[in-house]
Structure formats: structure tokens, C-alpha cells
A and B are shown apart, each in its own frame.
Chain A
Amino acid sequence: MKYVDEFRDRDKAAILVREIGALAACIGRQIHIMEVCGGHTHSIFRYGVEGMLPSRIELVHGPGCPVCVLPIGRVDACLGIAEQPGVIFTTFGDAMRVPGSRKSLMQAKAEGADIRMVYSPLDALAIARANPEREVVFFGLGFETTMPSTALTILQADREDIANFSVFCNHITIVPTIRAILESPDLELDGFLGPGHVSMVIGTAPYEFIARFHRKPMVIAGFEPLDILQSIWMVLKQIKDGRAEIENQYARVVPEAGNAAALRAVAQVYELREFFEWRGLGSIEHSGVQLRAEYARFDAERKFAIPNISIADPAACQCGEVLKGLIKPWQCRLFGSACTPETPLGALMVSSEGACAAYHQYGGKVQRAETA
């Protein structure tokens, strides 16, 4: 496929691996690079990128998987809406297996709730159009990548006056969380791979504080193996040269200014929440958005009066430590025993973008390479 195959070329990967090795040797110490985005985590495991890197370079898998950081209380709130009579609850497939305190959406569906997987919020709107006597709720989930699509769907519902459509908004924003990570005292990071598709929407300017105030390099990266290797190489070059800049490896998709139309829709429909809770990380200021009062009639939280309950993660669960990069997934006491992709306890085991599920699926190869 065009724009995919040419970024998976083995010979070019081998060239980058040699350059990375030379730079790592030149820097001469242990280097920790965090990939913020769950999409990168998935690609890194899928293509065995960690196994190609010298042992001096350690990739820390960050909190950028929206399914993984969804707190139990919000999953319970979904179930509370989905199990009401007359409701059709629509969601991306990724969220179906996330465990709530009692069950997941998948289990609720098996028990008879009308829960439907959709590819796009526009599909949810089409269901609402076709079923005017039912309440159709879309589970809005994701970072800035999917935030505009939900906003544009709400604007479309508003134009068509589709009154039986609403959104349970759980969209979150990555920058305050990167800031929280940088201010966390127990974390040692030398640089970041920046989230490619969030940046396609927000542009490069919101990250400037990382370079300017925290003196850390960030390279906004694409998702193919060559993109990731080239971005690691660019981070290492900055470290070697003593530079801290926001660079853009993924310029074929990410314009410096982001996407104006998407940002307009986001600004029109949402406002920042004071706080939003992240599984494993706790409450982070201004890290989530909610619908503005003008769009209250499309806000499932107002339509269904959902209590904003906070439920603690299972006591033995170490998702938070994995999310902050303090332990590796296999060092969690539940990994692979009580917590598996078939019966996940923690959210990191649920989504294919979660570090634990990725280790579980592709891990054997990676661990061998690390011990070699």
C-alpha cells in the first residue's frame, strides 16, 4: 500500500539501526526515551523495534492509549447508560472489553443491552436517524485525533436537529499529562517520541514548553517502523549535540500549524474540564473536555444524570507504575497470571495499544533480545 510499504523497507531499517548504534555509543550512557502514544507502543511491539536497538536505549511506554487510561468509574457510567431501557449505546470496538467494577460492555451486551460497535461517530448518528424513537448514545473516546470527528458529528446532529442523539464525552488531551509526567520527581527521561496523529490536529507549538522549560528533545513521529527508527535517531542526535527542540519527522502528515478546520470544530463544541481522572495516573488538571452549554442537548452526561463516581483500581493492579515507566509490564505481579488479554484486570491488558497486551502478544521475542 502506498505510504505504508516504503516505510517498512528492511535495508533502510538496517541503515538506521547502524546509525542509532553509533550515536548511542558516542553518547555513552543509558538513554530513556518515552513514546507518548499508544499507537507507537503498538508499532514498536508489532515490528520488534526494541529488539533492534542497542541495550543502552530503553523505550518507556507512555500513557497515550485512551482506552487504557479510562477509569473504572467511567466504564460503570457507560454501563449505567447502556442498560437503560430504550437506549442504543454505540462505541468503538476497542472499548468493549475494558473492565468496569462489575462487568465490561461486552458482558452487558451478552446480557441483552443494545450495545453496538461502530467504526465512526457518523455511523452512530446514522443509527439515531434511523431509530427516532430510541435514544442513541455515542461513547466519545480518544485524544485530539478523534476529538474533532465527535465534534463535527455533534455539529451535524445540531444542523439536522437529531434530538435522540447524544455523546458520552470522555475525550482527553495529552499535553497536560506530558506536563504532569515531566513534573513527576521519580521519572528520568532523556527525550520523547511525540504523538503523530494528535500533532496532525494540534500542530507542533503546544509542545514548545518541553524543549524550552524542561530542556528535553521531542521528535513527532510517524507509525511505520522506519518512522519510529528515524525519530529515535533524531532524538539521539539532539542529545549528542546538546540540543532540545521539537522536531517533526512525520511532516508528510503533520503540518506545523495543525489542522485549522478540526481545531475550529473542537473550540466550538468543547470546553476544558477542571479535572479528569486517568486510570493509574489519578486526577489531572485540564486534561479532559466536555460539551459546551450550547450543545447541552447532545450531552449524555446531562441527559442521563450520571454520577461522576471514582472507583479505585484493583489493589494488586500496577497499571499506574507501568504507565509511568517505573516497571516493565512483566514485572507486574498479575502479568500473564491473573491478568491476560482474555481476562484483563488492568486496562493496559485490554487494548492492542496497551503496553501489557503488546508485551503479552509479542513479548517473548523482546525479552529474549533484552537478555541477550
Chain B
Amino acid sequence: MTLDVFKTAQTTPSALAGGVFGVPENSAPAIEVLGLTHDFGPTRVLDSISFAVPRGTIAGIVGENGAGKSTLFNILSGLLQPARGSLRLREKDYAPRSYRHALEQGVSRVFQEQALIPALPVYENLLLGHERAFERGGFRRHGAMIATARRIVDAAELDVDVTGETGSYDFSVRQSLEIARACLFPSLVLGISDPVVLLDEPTAALAREEEAAFFRLVRRLRHHATILFVSHRLTEVLAISDSIHVLKDGRLVASRLPAEVDEDQLHRLMVGRARGVDYYSQQQGPIPVDASGVSSRPVLAAEGLSLAGAFEDISFSVQPGEIVGIGGLLNSGKTRLGRAVAGLVTPASGTIRIDGDPVASIRPESMVALGVGYVPAERLTEGVIPALSIAWNVGLASGDRLTTRAGFWRKQAESSLATRAIQDLRIRADGPARAVETLSGGNQQKVVIARWAARQPKLLVLDNPTRGVDAGAREEIYAILRRLAAAGVAILVITDDLAELIGLSDRIFILRDRRQVAALDAAAETKPTEEALVALMLGSQASSLSASQRVS
């Protein structure tokens, strides 16, 4: 099965060499991507990507987290300059220096976060940043602005009063406004025909019925603009796209017409990864929990945890020495669940038990005192203080041990603690006084783990522990986590990386739409497949497929 996936991946590039496929000859490409390559440090995030999108069509771009979709969009919208490769816009060279520069050439982007100002009337938001075009003698001609905004709203067939306050419309309407602005503003105001619009997960926050309205809007707007959109929801990608491009690990592994593929095939193209990739340490297997460990009471027991808008009725437990993985899509609620266990967000209801005792006050300092450590996903803002030394960063959580009775800080003890961590976790640094900002991402992450390892924690919660970490350090971090587990630490790993989720975990929980949808055994001999997990995360009909795959 894996072989099959691999073969598809290898054969497709030739199929897309022509770029335009199955689309009428007369539609020239609106945008062409030619051999785009980009690296972040040692990691290649885009690897010679080439494709073209014909004018007036919709291109869906799919891939796992970290496949390179955002980087591609960042380059197209001028936020990032590629290391190699080039772009062509309407058959002319296109090398945007900045977002503004891209905008001036008719390439705009609708971000996941809304960029409208709620307190302003709709028409001002629709023309935001271009008010000067409506000024005469220093006075703003509101009448002209309103008229122009009406043309945008009418062309998009939206039922919106442009003089109304933007904040009074609900989320989906505001999003429609943003998309309408992106598609229509260039042609109606700037006089650019054939603008290109990049939509970043446009439906992630929409309810199902709002999605239908969104589809209709995008189909209408296709006459005004060429649209590229990124989405995790494969059904909608299939329903709306004229062509679909699949990214995986920075490569374009397939370009397909929606008629040629179904959802399952897309899944497979997205996640099919050659087994035996160095960090996929399945063969190593989890450290078996000894007989006494299994029967002992769990270190962490979560019972019916709920927080409105974040997660609902979640129950699970982690035994000493066990690594439990939590997977799910971006807004599945898994990150907030991890933060709740770390005491950073307080669940509205439910109980967290540590060693069997319910935690009365769920706050970070009390969780730390109970032996819980948290390694956040945002390393540079929440994990380490980059300007300070390794010793300072490692000792930060051990104030109880590093303070004398009189309240003095034991710098010597802190320094030797850090020296030991540098040796034990093999942090590449010449000493504990070295500033953390001079270390590589992987070594910074080891500093965060060392902070907790120094306390001999009972439970370690990690959110995407190897994001932005190169392959070598990744393996070392996995080895560290296994070692901690072998020493009896209960470990909870929340991750977007499927290989990591499967390879590292003894058990896996999947969250979808804030709810717990599956619990899977993931011992070495019963590892689930990536496809099966994705199907559970997406909650599509593909779950039947995954069952058959697990049998094979």
C-alpha cells in the first residue's frame, strides 16, 4: 500500500509538466509557479514546486500541516522571497517584494484571522488602505466610497448594508465581505483585470450551512478573479476546485482534476509517507509499561473536561511510563486541552486528577507544584526567553530547589543543574552561560525539556515538541522522551505530525470538532496507519476505508 502511494508521488510530476491540463486552450495562466524552492535553516520547506492556474479558475491546495502550503502562500503574497525559482503573473515576471507590492499587482490574500475592523462601517472596511483615492482637497468623499463599496457588495450578491457597522454582521458575513473585497477591489477600483486571490483555510471557522453560501459566493466570484485556496476539508476542495494540487513535505506530489480523484485518494496522496523515514521510530517501539505500571493508578486522569468553544466532555488518562498521543486537525481543540492540563486555561467543568487526587485550583503554579511540566508549541514566545542564558532558562521552574531559606538564589546550583542538562540531553552549547538565542531550534527545545527533566516531573505535556526542529535533533528529542517514559514519567504528546503521533505513542486519542472521537491502541505491533488517523480527524466516510486498510 505504501509502495503504491510512493509510485503515485513519483509519476505525477511528469503529468503536470504541462501545467495546464484539461482546461480549454484559450485560458492563459493567471499565475505560474516555476521551480519554487525555499529553506528554513536546514529544513527544506518547498522543493522545486511548479504548477500553473488558468485564468478564472479555482485551484485547491491541500496537504498536511507543514507540507508547505503557508510558505507557498507567503511567497505568492510577497511576505517571503523564495530561495530559488520564479513566479509569473498574467504571463509576465512577478517578484513581489512585499505584501503591498503584491497587492498593487492584483494579488491579494484573505488570512485565517479576519482583517476587518469591527467598529468601522462596512464601506470603510471594503476600501481600507485606499481612502486616498476618494479624497479631494483633503476631504474624504464618503458618497463616492459608499457607491464603490455598493458595487463590490452587489457584484458579489451579498445582502449587506455598506453603511452598517461591520461588527454587527456575524462571522460568516464578515468573511464573505473580505473575500468579496479581495476578488472585486482590484478590478473595480484599481483597474486590474484578472486579479489573483489567495484564500487561507476560508471555511475553517464556518458552520456547515454557512459553507454552502461560501461555495456559491466563490463560484460567482470566479468570473472576477482567479482563486487559490488552501483547505483541510477535502469534500469542499473536491466540490469547488477546477484543479487540485497536493503538497507533501514541501513537494508537489500530484496535480489532479476533481473528476479524476476521490477523497480517499487525496488522503493517501497527502499523508502517504515512505516508512522508514529516519525519525519514524516505529521499529523501536514504545517502552513497555511494566506489570506494576499498568496496574498502578494513572498519573493524570481527566474526567469530562469541557470548555465552551475549546473542547467538550473529554476523558482520558495517562499511566506512569506511558506516552499518550493526541491528534486532530487545527481547530480540533487539542492544543487547548493540553493547556488545560498545564493549568493555563481553566475548564468550565470536569475534573483533573493527578495521582488520583482532584486538582482544586487549576493554575500553572499549582500544576507545576504537583509535578506537571508543559512544553508549549510556541517555543520563542512561551518556551524560552531567548536573550537569557541556558542556566536561567533551565532553572526557571526549579525556584523551590534553587532558593535558600533566606530567599537567595543559588546560582552555583543552577549552573551545575544546567551543565548536567547540557550533558544529559546533549545540548550543543559551550556552557550554561550561553544565551539561548544563539542555539538552534532543536537545542532550544531541549532546554525547555531540560527545565522539566531537572524537576523529575510526574507528567510532561508537550505540544508539537519537534515543530521547526531538524531531523537530527528530532530523533534526539524522541530518544529523550522515551528515556523519561522509561524512568516512569507519564507523557502526553499533542501533535500535528502524524508520523510522530504514531511512532511515539503507546495510545492515541483523536479529537474532531472539539470532541473525542476515537481511542486507539498504538503498541508497536498494532500501529494505526496515517490514513486511518486522517480519516478519523476529518470524520469523512473514509473511515470504512481505513478499517479495511488496517486489516491489510
| A and B from one complex | no
Chain B positions within 8 Å of A, measured between CB atoms, are none
